[in-house]
Structure 1
Amino acid sequence: MVVYTKLGLQLFLICAIFAVSTRKAEGQRDGLYPFVTVNDSQLNANNVTTKIFTTSIRISFSNPDVFSSATFTSAVQNYYGGRSGLGGFVSVANIQTTNVNISPVTVDYDVTYLYLQLKNSVVNDEGILNTIGRASVVKRGLESDTNFNNIYNVSENVQSFRFSGESLCDKVGCPQGNHMFCNEARQGASGDCRSPCKVGYCVNAGWCIQYHGNTLPICSCPSDTSTWYVGQHCQVYVHLWMPILFFVVVFLILVIIVLAFCFFYHNKPPEK
């Protein structure tokens, strides 16, 4: 009996999934959020919040035949700390290289900025990419140092260049609470927080409700006399015929079981 009941449940779920896939998923009704009282905001950053960018470049050299960490560090600090024009520079750290005796050498390093000062020094995220986030601009910046340029050559090959920023969404989060949608540019300085309701939390024209950033939104799903949307996000479509079909299937399974039991009972060989 348990097996047949499971078959009935599977049939019901298949029908429900098929119905959902054929329905148009809309979103918050008319794009309005009357039940969301959590305001949009910037990231939960203050004057001492830092953001770290990790860069990887490839450098070739011929003389001297050993990579000089001191020369490289001086050029990097001069560029990122001044000539780049970005505000909030703190330090260059975690400089790591491949075999310094073999040219070319791959160098990875972290550049730390005070986040708010950095953000205020650029118009948009392109300002960061065009200053420290592309191979060509890093090459020009480092090779503008005379001592560095006399010895080393930075590759412009984009395949050998990597640039990434740490996540401030993970680091500082949102001031409203832990259940906010945090959006940021990892390779830039932009970032904001908003209710998940505003980024499609409820589908199929469900009303999204959120009064506090520390609580998950709740979806109030639309329904009428014969159709319903259910689920955490109103993602499951249910029509009246679905539960009816389910109970009919279960009833038929029970009937078959009873008939089978009666048949085998009446045809059971007599005991000797």
Structure 2
Amino acid sequence: MPELPEVETTRRGIAPYLIKHRITDLEVRNPNMRWPIEADVFEMKNQTITEVGRRAKYLLLHAQSGTLILHLGMSGSTRISGRDEPYKKHDHFILQLDSGLDLRLHDPRRFGAVLWHQHCDGPLFEHPRLKDLGPEPLGDTFTPSYLINSCHGKSCTIKQHIMNNRTVVGVGNIYACEALFRSGIRPSRAAGNISAIRLSNLCQDIRSVLSEAIEQGGTTLRDFLNQDGKPGYFKQKLKVYGRESQACDQCSSAIRKTTIGQRSTFFCPQCQR
């Protein structure tokens, strides 16, 4: 699944091709996505894209009267294509631009989403898919004190807590494992039983691991290539994720794999307590 760094990489990749360009036409080749694509998306025709934003793992294409909300789901990606380029089998949604280029949403598993929010329907961030989201991990409100307070009295594991979008958005499985390794915190520890100083360090490590991944183009997954067709390179720096039985770079102990919240979880039994 594309995670926050991959989505941010996508945002940065497509923005120069979209901003200040008018949508001349739209095509819905398959409306059966995670939520059916509704006819109201055609309100975007003849409007100009003013900004390309992101909230959690949602891409936000802002226009004069509303915002197109895109989610890449499990296997989705967007690409900028020439108008004459043949469609791929799983190109389900296409925006045609006045530049002669297309923005195409490609999603083999169809777990992605295409939603239209009219400005007259209320504030964008009150949209049902956005209103209950926690703070952005790289934003000003995700602070050590916020994370410490959010963990108070929590019996769930710290990994489940930081992967909960109501706590903080966009800390997916890969980056949760890597941030917890950097902080020396075992993923199975109860969130409410971790000291304030260790949680403070974890907050900083979440921010740093995501920032580094964004700068390096995200982590290459089976179903994701970044916008210029090149894979991300953060995968080369992963310390624990996907490295079961390999030697820890810090202590040479064998990396272990377990399951937490139905997700594969990797950690060093020596470095993480």
Q: TM-score, normalised by structure 2?
A: 0.20
Specify the structure having the higher radius of gyration (Cα). 1
Q: Which has the higher contact order (CA 8 A, sep 6+)?
A: 1
